[in-house]
Amino acid sequence: MIIHHKEDFTQYQVTLLRPLKYSESFTFIPIKLFNGRYHKCILQTPLLFTPFGIQELPNRKKVMDISFINTSNDKSQHEFLRNLQGIYNSINRNYKSRHACNKFIKKTDYGECIRLKLSDKTSIFDESKNIVDEITRYTYGTFIIHLEGMWLNKGEIWFQWSLLQARMKIPFYLQKYSFIDDISEKNSIDEVVNNKYDRMLKLGVPQAAVDQQRRLDSVSISKGMPPPPPPPPQQGSTPKSVPRKINPSDLKSVVLKKNTQRKMNNKVKPEGFEPPTKEELQTTLSRLKSIK
């Protein structure tokens, strides 16, 4: 059973179970809470601060301090701290005449702190319930903590708190490009790209080559890269014009010169060539039909 920090702690009575002797010097006394039945002292904390994160001691054990530095801004921290102090006071009243009861709430530069022991079974999550590997310093989180009991050694009492689970507020990071591009900016880019292909066609670039360039630009844009600019015109070159088709009606307006005998300037006529007369050309043109 996990007791939430907002529950009324006055309904629970701190109970010490039968001592367990581990050596001539060390005795462990388990602690439970009782309200008609016994419960382990497992508590869920409010949002608390950890100034140092997880620390490793010289004996290789891992510990972590949780701080109540934000009690002035968070009333739930103040109430939870008061309930923990009540647990300590109830035990101290029974043992102060025989043992020095060391406080588990220590005053530090970061306000009141409690030191927690970590084990290999301690689980750490982020706010999305994903498992994370560590707890860094200067972060906030909520914790499930367990007061297992107290150790008696040479007339002194030491409390053993363990961290069972932590849920940390970890900074969020974006792993890939996530900007929402402005619509006007996108339209402007599309206009530039389309003008580029029109210019290529006017320069005489074949349509197949223009289509191939369009596909390459699409791949570049999908990868977040700007499309390459159109090729510059060659110096001294002019755009090629599309040759105009000649219709039969255009030939009717052609005026032919009269058939006159021209001298060949002693040049030999091509063998087998007989130039047509004016009458033959006119007859041929009249027989042509217009091509639609």
| pLDDT tens across the length of the chain (292 residues) | 899 999 988 899 999 999 999 999 999 999 999 999 999 999 999 999 999 999 999 999 999 999 999 999 999 999 999 999 999 999 998 887 788 899 999 999 999 999 999 999 999 999 999 999 899 999 999 999 999 999 999 889 999 999 999 999 988 788 788 888 776 655 655 666 677 778 888 888 888 888 888 888 776 666 555 555 655 655 555 555 555 666 666 666 666 666 555 554 555 555 555 677 777 777 777 776 555 5
In a domain, 175, yes or no: no
Instruction: Look up the domain containing 47 and give its range.
Output: 3-168
The helix/strand/coil state of 278 is helix
Segment (H or E) for 279: helix 278-287
pTM for this prediction: 0.61
Positive or negative, the CA dihedral 11, 16, 117, 132 is negative
Q: Give the C-alpha separation, 80 to 103, whole Å.
A: 16
In a domain, 54, yes or no: yes
In a domain, 45, yes or no: yes
pLDDT for 202? 80
Q: What is the pLDDT of residues 62-104, one digit of tens each?
A: 999 999 999 999 999 999 999 999 999 999 988 877 888 999 9
In a domain, 222, yes or no: no
Given a contact cutoff of 8 angstroms between Cβ atoms, the answer to whether 142 and 92 are in contact is: no
Using alpha carbons, list the distances in angstroms from residue 203 to 140, 191, 206, 210.
Answer: 64, 19, 9, 11
pLDDT for 217? 78
Positive or negative, the CA dihedral 83, 88, 91, 97 is negative
Q: Give the C-alpha separation, 76 to 73, whole Å.
A: 9
State how many domains the chain has. 1
In a domain, 177, yes or no: no
Segment (H or E) for 67: strand 62-67
DSSP string, 112-181: EEEEEEE-TT-EEE-TTS-B-S---SSEEEEEEEEEEEEEEETTEEEEEEEEEEEEE-PPP---S-----
In a domain, 96, yes or no: yes
In a domain, 86, yes or no: yes
